[in-house]
Amino acid sequence: MFTPDDTIVAVATPPGRGGLGVVRLSGPQAATIAGTLLDRSEPLRPRHATVARIVDHTAAVPTAVDQVVATAFPHPGSYTGDDVVEISAHGSPVLLGRIVALACAAGARLAEPGEFTLRAYLNGRLDLVQAEAVADLIDAVTPLQARIAFDQLEGTITAPIRELDSQLFDLIARLEASLDFPEEGYHFVAAGEVAEAVGAIRRQVNALLNGAARGRLIREGCQVVIVGKPNVGKSSLFNQLLGVARAIVTPMAGTTRDLVTDVTDLNGLAVTLVDSAGIRSAGDAVEVEGVARTREALGVAAATVVVVDRSRPLDQEDWAVLEETAALRRLVAVNKVDAPTSWVRGSLALEEETAVVEVSARTGEGLERLRAALCDVLTGGERLRDTPAVANSRHIGLLERGGEALGAAEAAAARGAAEEFVLADLQRARAALEELTGKRTPDDVLRHIFERFCIGK
Ligand SMILES: Nc1nc2c(ncn2[C@@H]2O[C@H](COP(=O)(O)OP(=O)(O)OP(=O)(O)O)[C@@H](O)[C@H]2O)c(=O)[nH]1
Ligand SMILES: [Mg+2]
């Protein structure tokens, strides 16, 4: 995986047909290989879009394959930090495949998934946090996810970590100097000063972790299950929230028998909505299995929407569902408010803090309120627009590890422990930060991170 000396090639645009498709070459031979594919005698002018033809010289009679625009980006000022040539061809998988094959015949190797970004990291164009941001940006399904990923690419983590690392480095150097010249009895840094300096760094690490839980929720998305007794309008509500008629809706109780899932953008959160079989004790074998699956989904969901029908009296089955979900993070949707009312809201007898929203899955009334209330339940009421810096569990784990080591160093310094002890904790903190940015990251972690990419990225 870590062989940066050869020249790699891949289609950089998604599979399928389009107006354009881009083939990317990266490595020391990129310009030479592109030269053998293009019908031009002189080399490509750096950073200039050049119209040219791709010619297949491996055929018995050289044949033109496509008209393209080729751009050369000499090292080190390219995406990967290698010499790069990008060839914009017409977006046909047949053509693009042929161009890649011709590049391979001329000496290139097919790129592994994520290898372009891996090279950018190995060549120091991006640190590890930024390389991960590229993957997140490509994978984003909501604009908010894309924004957090782009901020991360722009350095919301990289810049403060670099600053913290240099503060740590300075402190470690002064402590080591004090250790190296003990006989002078001179300390390059006073004991009280050490505790204070470490405390300042620790607080900066903690500040980065502010909103980390919300960041993770935005980045990873979450699952929300819609439950209720049969026929209350779960599937209707599910379809409304998705904006498409995904699940079957009928007037018969027991319509939905299996879990139906789909992803929706809930005010910026990527929420996997799960429509479930109505919870009731009677029913055939299929329904029993459906209810078992509903209970399983309830176990892993971040939140639950309990649907009740206001056009019919509440009954034992409603109470059973309300009781079963009482300990979960939930919201109660009082559905069918367009129909004549059969009971008043107070009849639910819920504790004060449970969010109750009146909706009509038929008319769409109250749907925006339901979305907002669900978002509040998921985020604990924190505003999603204030985007947190940290969203990735790897980053959160390492920052916590760093913060913990700094806390230990601070405590050791405060009680006047020998420099060696303080230093050991500071080195641990520094190692955590260096693993975060990839200055010192084990190969298996790197492999795991770059596996997420697909070919051409
Ligand atoms: N008047 C009115 N009828 C609704 C509303 N929501 C759903 N219905 C009707 O209620 C019936 C049941 O709706 P579904 O969405 O299938 O209910 P469900 O909870 O998924 O039912 P099961 O899958 O059988 O558990 C259908 O006839 C819907 O048209 C609403 O807001 N107002
Ligand atoms: Mg249903």
Q: What is the average pLDDT across 312-329?
A: 95
249 Cα–ligand 2 center, Å: 6
User: How far is 449 from 434, CA to CA, in rounded Å?
Assistant: 16
Q: What is the average pLDDT across 342-346?
A: 88
96 Cα–ligand 2 center, Å: 45
Burial class (CB in 10 A: 0-12, 13-18, 19+), 349: exposed
Band of residue 5 on the pLDDT scale cut at 50, 70, 90: confident
Q: What is the CATH number of domain 134-210+390-438?
A: 1.20.120.430
Hey, which of 234, 235, 236, 239 would you mutate to test ligand 1's pocket, going by the most ligand atoms within 8 Å of its Cβ?
236
Residues 305 and 334 sit within 8 Å (Cβ to Cβ) = no
Q: What is the average pLDDT across 33-53?
A: 95
Residues 139 and 167 sit within 8 Å (Cβ to Cβ) = no
User: How far is 2 from 435, CA to CA, in rounded Å?
Assistant: 18
Taking the alpha carbons at both ends of the chain, their separation in whole angstroms is: 14
Q: Which residues of 411-422 are buried (b: 16+ CB within 10 A; e: fewer)?
A: bbbbeebebeeb
Band of residue 185 on the pLDDT scale cut at 50, 70, 90: low
Percent of the chain with pLDDT over 90: 78
Per-residue pLDDT for 66 more than 70?
A: yes
| Token output for 135 | 């993957």
Ligand 1 first shell, C-beta below 6 A = 228, 230-236, 249-251, 253-256, 278, 335-336, 338-339, 360-362
Q: Which ligand is nearest to the CA of 249?
A: 1
Residues of the chain with CATH 3.30.1360.120: 8-127
Q: Which ligand is nearest to the CA of 227?
A: 1
| Token output for 94 | 């047949």
Band of residue 1 on the pLDDT scale cut at 50, 70, 90: low
SS3 at position 73: strand
Residues 131 and 117 sit within 8 Å (Cβ to Cβ) = yes
Q: Give the closest residue to 255 by CA, choosing from 273, 232, 239.
A: 232
User: How far is 336 from 440, CA to CA, in rounded Å?
Assistant: 58
Hey, which of 226, 231, 312, 317 would you mutate to test ligand 1's pocket, going by the most ligand atoms within 8 Å of its Cβ?
231
Least confident of 147-156, 220-229, 379-388: 379-388
In degrees rounded to 5, what are phi and psi of residue 16? 115, 180
353 Cα–ligand 1 center, Å: 27
User: Omega of the bond prior to 14 within 30 degrees of 0, cis?
Assistant: no
Band of residue 437 on the pLDDT scale cut at 50, 70, 90: very high
248 Cα–ligand 2 center, Å: 7
The pTM score is 0.83
Topology of domain 218-379, CATH: Rossmann fold (3.40.50)
Tens digits of residue pLDDT in 75-130: 999 999 999 999 999 999 999 999 999 999 999 999 999 999 999 999 999 999 99
Per-residue confidence (pLDDT) for residue 123, from 0 to 100: 94
What is the number of the ligand 1 atom nearest to the C-alpha of 363?
31
Residues of the chain with CATH 3.40.50.300: 218-379
Q: What is the average pLDDT across 292-318?
A: 95
Q: What is the CATH number of domain 8-127?
A: 3.30.1360.120
What is the number of the ligand 1 atom nearest to the C-alpha of 230?
25
247 Cα–ligand 2 center, Å: 7
Residues 423 and 175 sit within 8 Å (Cβ to Cβ) = yes
Q: What is the average pLDDT across 162-170?
A: 93
Band of residue 421 on the pLDDT scale cut at 50, 70, 90: very high
Band of residue 416 on the pLDDT scale cut at 50, 70, 90: confident
373 Cα–ligand 2 center, Å: 22
Name the residue at shortest CA distance from atom 10 of ligand 1.
233
Band of residue 284 on the pLDDT scale cut at 50, 70, 90: confident
